[in-house]
Amino acid sequence: MVGESRAMSGRSGAEDGPEHRPRGRGGSVTTPRNRRGRSGTAMRRARLARSRELPAAPQGTAERDGTSLRDRKLWIGAFVTVVTGLAALLVQGGWDWLREEMSDPPELTAYAADVNGCTPKYFNARLDELRAHPETVDRSGVWIPTADLWPSVNVTVQAKTSQAIVLTGAKVSVLSARPLPARGSVVDAECGGGMDERAFDVDLRTDPVSVRPSVVRTGQGAVIKGRAFPFKVSSGDPEQFVFNVKNVARDVRFAITFSWVSDGQPGSTRLDNGGRGFHVMGLPKNLPRYSRVDVFKGK
């Protein structure tokens, strides 16, 4: 029995040897590892075959996609440009409105130089003193109106904003009035003058002081009367006024006050030459009177 078992065991081992294992193509021995390798290769070949069988994308698809993308970009750019422009306009308009709302109420800006003209001037000095310093003839002195010539105050008026302001009138107030001097000298001026269309005659002998539009006679005998108040001014449309001081009986300093209305609110602007007042006087009696030639003769 023991011998038969060994014999059977020997046959079984012989049958399981290499000579009894299945062989593949080319006489290769088929093992579990070889079977797995061939199976993986077959799967890769099948996937490659399926990929080759997939239909290719149409040639115009990519081009249509690119064109559509460009069109969308153009529309988006145009939309952004329009929106940006509208926003800029709204912001600018809103800023202008806000600035107008937050700014101070409309006010009048007025500037006036000192009295000027081509009339005689009074100096509290003798002729020899004037000859020692002739430059004082042009830099100082008190203007004196005559029957044909009169000193004037030039005033420029305008609003601080574009909102119009209506000037309703102008008033001249006397700050001081003293008797005419009893000593000194009077020197005549040598210049020519003109008249502004916004000219007014000031009579300092009346109380209250009279301020009326100037009247001019032309060479042909026609009479031209200046325009009276009101006037309209704004920041871009100023007005120039000339106040001609024609009648003075004393040594006077005066101020000019404009009355105006803006947006239904009344106001006033006063000009007083820096607090000094505008200084004029009547012609003093019994004082010596000289020409500019007399003053500069000693130089």
Segment-wise mean pLDDT, segments of 10 residues, the chain, 299 residues: 44 46 47 52 62 51 57 71 65 50 62 86 91 85 89 88 86 93 88 61 92 77 80 87 91 94 88 93 91 77
What is the C-alpha separation between 142 and 84, in angstroms, rounded? 64
- Which residues share a beta bridge with 253? 176, 279
Three-class DSSP category at 150 = coil
Rounded CA gap, 247 and 230, in Å?
24
User: Which amino acid does the sequence have at 76?
Assistant: I
pLDDT at 259: 93
Contact 127, 180 (CB under 8 A): no
Question: Prior bond to 288 cis, omega within 30?
Answer: no
Omega prior to 230 cis, within 30 of 0: yes
Radius of gyration of the chain (CA): 55
Distance CA 167, CA 89 (A): 34
Please give the pLDDT value at position 113: 82
Full-model pTM: 0.60
Residue 116 pLDDT: 85
Task: Note the pLDDT of residue 121.
Answer: 92
Residue 255 CA from chain centroid, whole number: 33
Identify whether the C-beta of residue 250 lies closer than 8 Å to the C-beta of residue 281: yes
Instruction: Output the CA–CA distances (angstroms, integers) from residue 65 to 60, 62, 72, 269, in the order listed.
Output: 9, 5, 11, 73
Give the integer Cα–Cα distance in Å for 150 and 7: 162
